[in-house]
């Protein structure tokens, strides 16, 4: 059990049957009246963020969220298979659970799989990946305006905006959280 007075950023707990995580918290002691804890909490399964105030003595069950590195193996329709690198077991996960950044993940990449009581609720791609550009138009010589970008398709099939000097066959580094080009990768 955890009390609201013990809340810290990142703490997970069960509230009304849902697993919640503290995003922000603030202990407030007004001049008059009782103290309270003002929080911003996120439902880890749906991702919804709400602001709530709690009495510091309110008690909640601690939620133990398991986060495990697993290797992406292959997809079969709506199911994506991940291998536990300790037991070598294959775990099928529905496409609805995958993060937006998963479009930049290719086979044999390690992802972070989060579960609560054996039920997987999120799969997070690595923050940065290096991928090969499979299709982009050549840059126009003389077009040197600042911050000019063009579309490029990478080996996973995702599309990224890249600078004009990037060509087909180049390797680029991508931030999977924003989907933005970072730099040309050194290969």
Inter-residue contact 129 to 32 (CB < 8 Å): no
Q: pLDDT band at 144, cuts 50/70/90?
A: low
pLDDT at 27 over 70: yes
Asked if the 2-62 domain carries CATH number 1.10.3720.10, the reply is no
Q: pLDDT band at 51, cuts 50/70/90?
A: very high
pLDDT at 153 over 90: yes
Q: What is the largest CA-CA distance in the chain?
A: 70
pLDDT digits (tens, 9 = 90+) for 57-81: 889 998 888 889 999 999 888 899 9
pLDDT digits (tens, 9 = 90+) for 98-131: 877 888 999 999 998 888 888 888 888 898 999 9
Percent of the chain with pLDDT over 90: 21
Q: In what order do the strands lie in the sheet with 90-94?
A: 90-94, 79-84, 65-76, 110-116, 119-124
Residue 117 Cα distances to 19, 60, 64, 107, 114, angstroms: 11, 17, 8, 27, 10
Mean pLDDT on 35-51: 87
Inter-residue contact 63 to 19 (CB < 8 Å): yes
Flag the least confident range among 21-30, 73-82, 100-109, 145-154.
Answer: 145-154
pLDDT at 28: 87
The encoded tokens of residue 34 equal 């009782």
Intervals of CATH 2.30.30.30 along the chain: 2-62
Flag the least confident range among 48-57, 85-94, 107-116, 145-154.
Answer: 145-154
Mean pLDDT (the chain) is 86
Q: What architecture (CATH level 2) is domain 129-184?
A: Beta Barrel (2.40)
Q: What architecture (CATH level 2) is domain 65-124?
A: Beta Barrel (2.40)
Intervals of CATH 2.40.50.140 along the chain: 65-124, 129-184
């Amino acid at each position: 059990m955890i009390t609201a007075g013990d809340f810290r950023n990142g703490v997970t707990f069960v509230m009304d049957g849902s697993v919640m995580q503290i995003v922000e918290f603030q202990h407030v002691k007004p001049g008059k009246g009782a103290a309270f804890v003002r929080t911003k909490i996120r439902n880890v399964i749906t991702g919804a963020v709400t602001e709530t105030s709690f009495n510091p003595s309110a008690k909640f069950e601690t939620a133990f969220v398991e986060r495990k590195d697993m290797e992406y193996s292959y997809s079969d329709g709506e199911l994506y298979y991940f291998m536990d690198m300790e037991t070598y077991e294959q775990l099928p996960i529905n496409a609805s659970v995958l993060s937006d950044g998963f479009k930049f993940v290719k086979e044999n990449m390690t992802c972070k799989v989060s579960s609560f009581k054996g039920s997987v609720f999120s799969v997070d791609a690595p923050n940065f990946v290096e991928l090969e550009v499979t299709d982009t138009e050549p840059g126009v010589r003389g077009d040197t305006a600042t911050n000019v970008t063009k579309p490029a398709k990478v080996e996973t099939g995702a599309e990224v905006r890249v600078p004009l000097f990037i060509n087909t066959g180049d390797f680029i580094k991508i931030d999977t959280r924003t989907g933005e080009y970072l730099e040309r990768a050194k290969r």
